Amino acid sequence: MSDLNNIKNSTDNLNLDVEKELKRDLALKITKNVVIYVFLTIMAFFSLFPFIWMITTSFKTQPETESAVLHLFPQSGWQFSNYKYIFTYKTQQGYKFTTQLINTMIVGFVSTSLGVIVTVLSAFAFAKLEFKGKNLIFSLLLATMMIPGELFTITNYTTTKSTFGWTNTFTILIAPFLISVFYIYLLRNAMKQVPDSLYKAAKVDGCGDVRYLVKVMIPLVGPTIFSIVLLKFIGTWNSYIWPNLVNSPNMQLLSNWVSQGFVFQGEQRAAANLKMAAACLVTIPLLILFLCFRKYIMRGVSRSGTKG
């Protein structure tokens, strides 16, 4: 009888120990999650605060933006007329928002279309075709990624302005950036995941390289190509240094127009409220693109970095 009591007491003690251990693990898990989410919330706030400040400032009056005491939200009412003014405002050279918007759309669509075609063909050649010196050429291309972008800016400027004489044209905004080694590398990795047996079987059936690329390869790596299209268009949309360096204001892009505009005669600095309103208009299309297609971007980038 005493042995049974001892066994029962031992079992009860073991159950109590297990229950305490489970409660402790649960408490640690909850505490860990609370700390993580508090940290992420604080970091998200610091990341989003400049964007929030840009939006609220775009609805303020000019005296509010120049006041010694700054407020997050407008104190004199929300000035929706700031956005209406953007579409009628002309710079000192006489250029409007719509002019630079058309320039940006033309450069964006042409540069993205031609750039993606070059990227797809190059990536397919490095991924599936066999030719002499392929690995050496690809290694040299990857080596160029180690060169600072500022050096390319100098050489591109010298070549396009002095050698080809491209001035105040869309060509000078498009041609130097048709080839992106990073995008070729990204898409080549995605194509390398497609089994070579598919390519060999297609060749046996009499399928040419171009037909195989269009009918088989592009649909299989579609998410990666879609990501490249979005990223390249966003890069063109945000381009600032190169258009400002090579073209006059009538052939520049939206980012240049925003940074140079809203300086009125007799004033030493730009109207911050109008500049923020223009920045919001430039940012909104990119934000919509990212929110609508972010899962495709993540899927395309993740697939290109996964083997198998």
Of 103, 257, 229, 226, the residue nearest 174 (C-alpha)? 103
Assigned architecture for domain 93-304: Orthogonal Bundle (1.10)
CB distance 161 to 242 below 8 Å: no
Contacts of 118 (CB under 8 A, 6+ apart): 178, 179
**Identity of the amino acid at 85:** Y
Q: pTM of the prediction?
A: 0.75
Per-residue pLDDT of the chain (308 residues; tens, 9 = 90+): 555 555 555 555 556 566 777 778 888 889 999 999 999 999 999 988 988 988 998 898 888 888 778 888 888 888 888 888 888 877 766 777 888 888 888 998 999 999 999 999 999 999 888 888 888 999 998 888 888 877 788 888 888 877 777 878 888 888 888 888 899 998 998 888 888 888 888 888 888 888 888 888 888 888 888 888 888 888 888 888 888 888 887 788 888 888 777 776 556 667 788 888 888 888 888 888 878 877 776 765 655 544 44
What are the extents of the domains in the chain?
2-57, 93-304
